[in-house]
Amino acid sequence: MTDEKTNDSEDLPGVGTATADKLREAGFKGVESIAVAAVGELMDATGMGEGVCKKIIKSAGDLCEMGFETANQLMEKRASIGRITTGSKSLDELMGGGIETRSISEFYGRYGSGKTQIALQLCINTQLPKEQGGLGGGTLYIDTEGSFRPERVQQMAKAAGLDPTEALEKIFVARAYNSDHQMLLAEKAMDMIEENDIRLVVVDSLTSAFRAEYVGRGTLAGRQQKLNRHLHTLQRLADLNNLAIIVTNQVMANPGLLFGDPTTPIGGHIVGHQSTYRVYLRNSQGEKRIARLVDSPCLPDGETVFKITQKGLDDA
């Protein structure tokens, strides 16, 4: 696949300077980002007709050689996949070696189960050099619940051997006040990613705003469509920039379930299908938490115990 950063959108047929400027303003920085765009997104960004947008997307796809490839070629590309340590060896093992780039990893559970603590810990661990389980980069943090606490991040930074002030400088936080604002922040993230060497994007939590705004069965279809679009935007960021996506998710009780754990993540099949890795978190005794890998494309279901201390995540 052609590197999008070496190709200008103005090289495409039907794209002039003005249209290229509109595309860049909408977050389409190069040919590859156009090639993977939906027709409707391009129409909204440029004001052009459907036929023209289809032609531009096709031309971009041809230039990027976005067609079939052998599984061996795909295996070679996966050699560039990075992983971020969680701070717990047992949790890393459960996740196949840590949090994977080019993937969406979802952590869901009840209040106090450790979702935000994992997200904050990963903001620090992402900054570590590769030999220490990091990616040597920064984090974009979309906070929908007002739960981000820089004081807690400083505690974790000290425990990891990082300067607390410098660590905070590499974490960029935006408070999302509704679902539209949340989606806009993700759509406009490309500039921040390129300018600040971002290697992790966190959404904490994914469904909070959607759940509050779309109440009742009559609004379910609209909510799911927007949530689906948001997740596809996040996946595109992961793919185009080889970074990791972490989303936390709320839960509800399923009253129709007579046996077993009735806890169910919000978002239904949309979130389930789009999340690459799904981890269910539960409280245990004291500092201990239980993590269960519920879904993965290549790993077996499993369960492990870790703990959350003042210093951050650790093995139980």
Question: How far out from the chain centre does Cα 44 lie?
Answer: 24
Q: Are 270 and 230 in contact (CB under 8 A)?
A: no
- Give me the mean pLDDT over the 180-205 stretch: 94
- Give me the mean pLDDT over the 67-94 stretch: 94
pLDDT digits (tens, 9 = 90+) for 61-75: 888 777 788 999 999
Distance CA 220, CA 211 (A): 10
Q: Are 14 and 55 in contact (CB under 8 A)?
A: yes
Confidence of residue 123 (pLDDT cuts 50, 70, 90): very high
216 and 171 share one domain: yes
pLDDT for res 261? 82
Tokens representing residue 106 in the block = 């979802």
140 and 57 share one domain: no
pLDDT digits (tens, 9 = 90+) for 293-314: 999 999 999 999 999 999 999 9
pLDDT for res 7? 55
HEC states along 125-186?
Answer: HCCCCHHHCCCCCEEEEEECCCCCCHHHHHHHHHHCCCCHHHHHHCEEEEECCCHHHHHHHH
Angstrom CA distances, 285 to 113, 261, 290, 310, stand at 11, 18, 10, 16
Q: Does residue 49 have a pLDDT over 70?
A: yes
117 and 249 share one domain: yes
Distance CA 258, CA 197 (A): 48
Classify burial at 297, counting beta carbons within 10 Å of its beta carbon; exposed 0-12, middle 13-18, buried 19 or more: exposed
Least confident of 28-32, 159-163, 266-270: 28-32
What CATH number is associated with residue 13?
1.10.150.20
Task: Note every long-range contact of 169-173, with CB atoms under 8 Å and residues 24 or more positions apart, other chains counting.
Answer: 170/127, 170/137, 170/138, 170/139, 170/196, 171/123, 171/138, 171/139, 171/141, 172/138, 172/139, 172/140, 172/141, 172/196, 172/198, 173/141, 173/143, 173/148
Task: Identify the domain containing residue 18 by its residue range.
Answer: 4-63
201 and 151 share one domain: yes
Q: Does residue 141 have a pLDDT over 90?
A: yes
- Specify if 260 maps to a domain: yes
Least confident of 63-77, 86-100, 111-125, 296-310: 63-77
The kind and range of the H/E element at 201 are strand 198-204
Q: How many domains does the chain have?
A: 2
173 and 208 share one domain: yes
Residues 6 or more apart whose Cβ sits within 8 Å of residue 7: 30, 31, 32, 63
92 and 225 share one domain: yes
113 and 179 share one domain: yes
pLDDT for res 6? 42
- Give me the mean pLDDT over the 35-55 stretch: 84
pLDDT for res 4? 40
Confidence of residue 35 (pLDDT cuts 50, 70, 90): confident
Higher per-residue pLDDT: 6 or 176: 176
Distance CA 160, CA 140 (A): 19
Distance CA 103, CA 242 (A): 9
227 and 166 share one domain: yes
31 and 141 share one domain: no
- Specify if 68 maps to a domain: no
pLDDT for res 69? 87
- Specify if 70 maps to a domain: no
